Amino acid sequence: MGSHEEKLSILSEMIAFAKVDGAVKEPEFNFLLEVAAHLGIDRATFDSLFEKKAEHIMPKSQADRILQFHRLVLLMNVDEVQEQKEINRLHNIGLGMGLPPSAIQQVLTIMHKYPNKVIPPNVLIDIFKAHYN
């Protein structure tokens, strides 16, 4: 796992993404809180990220970028509502992380085949592996 600053960056990006549609819904907030706990971020620090963004730090490895992209896909689907602006924002975040556009599009298409649109990690990894070969 990355440094404390990297963890704050991950959460800050996720919070900003959750706000794309104007409000952070309860399922999104609970998911973000679980991610914070998993990353070892205390509640006070987590709450402060809603007021002040952390410095953006690009995940160093390709695996970390894919993991962050997967977190964002899960976050987008946790409230069972997908708005076009969320999909567009997720696509742009993926591009900004240097992920292959065709892999991003494939993930956004294939997620509809799974219950609650939760793509199993091994399927997600296989999609990105295929696009890197």
pLDDT in tens, 28-37: 999 999 999 9
Determine the pLDDT at residue 116.
Answer: 85
The first and second tokens of residue 68, run together, are 């962050």
**Distance (Å, whole) CA 1 – CA 17:** 21
Work out whether the CA dihedral 79, 20, 25, 95 comes out positive or negative: positive
Supply the angle between the helices 62-78 and 84-96 in degrees, to the nearest 10.
170
What is the share, in percent, of the chain residues with pLDDT greater than 70?
98
Looking at the chain, how many residues does it have?
133
What is the residue extent of each domain of the chain?
4-132
pLDDT per position as a tens digit, 82-100: 888 999 999 999 999 999 9
Averaged pLDDT score across all residues of the chain: 92
**Distance (Å, whole) CA 75 – CA 46:** 16
Helix H or strand E encompassing 35:
helix 26-39
* Matching residue, tokens 């976050």: 75
pLDDT per position as a tens digit, 17-60: 999 988 899 999 999 999 999 999 999 999 999 999 999 999 98
Has residue 133 got a pLDDT over 70?
Answer: no
Determine the pLDDT at residue 15.
Answer: 97
The first and second tokens of residue 18, run together, are 């959750």
Q: How far is CA 86 from CA 41, 75, 83, 96, 129, in A?
A: 25, 10, 5, 15, 25
